[in-house]
Amino acid sequence: MAMKKQEKKDHAEKLRAQLANVSSVILSTFQGITVEQDTALRRSVEKAGGHYQVVKNTLVERAGAGTPVEPLFKDLKQTNSIAYTAADPVALAKVLSKVAKDVPAFKFRAGWVEGRVISIAEIEQLSQLPSKEELISKIMFMLNAPAQRLASVTAAVSRNLAVVTNEAVKANKFGSGGAAAGAQPAPAAGSAGEEKAPEPKPE
Per-residue confidence (pLDDT) for residue 155, from 0 to 100: 60
Q: Phi and psi at residue 85, in whole multiples of 5°?
A: -150, 150
Q: Are 90 and 122 in contact (CB under 8 A)?
A: no
pLDDT surpasses 70 at 92 = yes
Q: Which residue has the higher pLDDT, 162 or 21?
A: 21
Higher-confidence position of 163 and 108: 108
Q: Are 81 and 33 spatial neighbours (Cβ–Cβ below 8 Å)?
A: no
Q: Give the per-residue pLDDT at 125.
A: 87
Question: Quick one: pLDDT band at residue 98, thresholds 50, 70, 90?
Answer: very high
Q: What is the pLDDT of residue 179?
A: 42
Pick the more confident residue, 177 or 64.
64
| The pLDDT value given to residue 6 | 84
Q: Is the dihedral of CA 156, 161, 164, 170 positive or negative?
A: negative
- Interatomic CA distance for residues 68 and 35, integer angstroms: 32
With 90 as the cut, is the pLDDT of residue 59 above it?
yes
Q: Are 110 and 119 in contact (CB under 8 A)?
A: yes
Q: Nearest-CA neighbor of 42 among 32, 57, 31, 54? A: 54
How many CB atoms within 10 Å of residue 49? Answer: 15
**Residue scoring higher pLDDT (154 or 128):** 128
Q: Is the pLDDT of residue 132 over 70?
A: no
Q: DSSP string covering 156-191, please?
A: HHHHHHHHHHHHHHHTT---GGGPPTTPPPPPPTT-
- In the chain the domains, ranked by start, together with CATH numbers, are 2-130 (3.30.70.1730)
Strand ranges inside the chain, DSSP E: 24-29, 50-55, 80-85, 107-113, 116-118
* pLDDT, mean of residues 117-146: 74
Q: Residue 174: its pLDDT value, please?
A: 42
Strand order in the sheet with 107-113: 50-55, 80-85, 24-29, 107-113, 116-118
Q: Is the separation of the CB atoms in 32 and 100 below 8 Å?
A: no
Amino acid 31: pLDDT: 86
The per-residue pLDDT for 134 is 62
Which tens digit of pLDDT belongs to each residue from 134-186?
666 656 666 665 656 556 655 655 555 455 455 555 555 444 444 444 445 44
What amino acid is encoded at 140 in this protein? M
> Average pLDDT over the chain, rounded to whole?
77
Cα–Cα nearest to 106, from 46, 48, 38, 52: 38
Positive or negative: CA dihedral 50, 56, 57, 58: negative
Q: What is the 3-state secondary structure (H, E, C) of 139-164?
A: HHHHHHHHHHHHHHHHHHHHHHHHHH
In the predicted structure, residue 91 carries a pLDDT above the cut 60: yes
**Residue-level pLDDT at 8:** 85
Tell me what pLDDT residue 159 has: 52
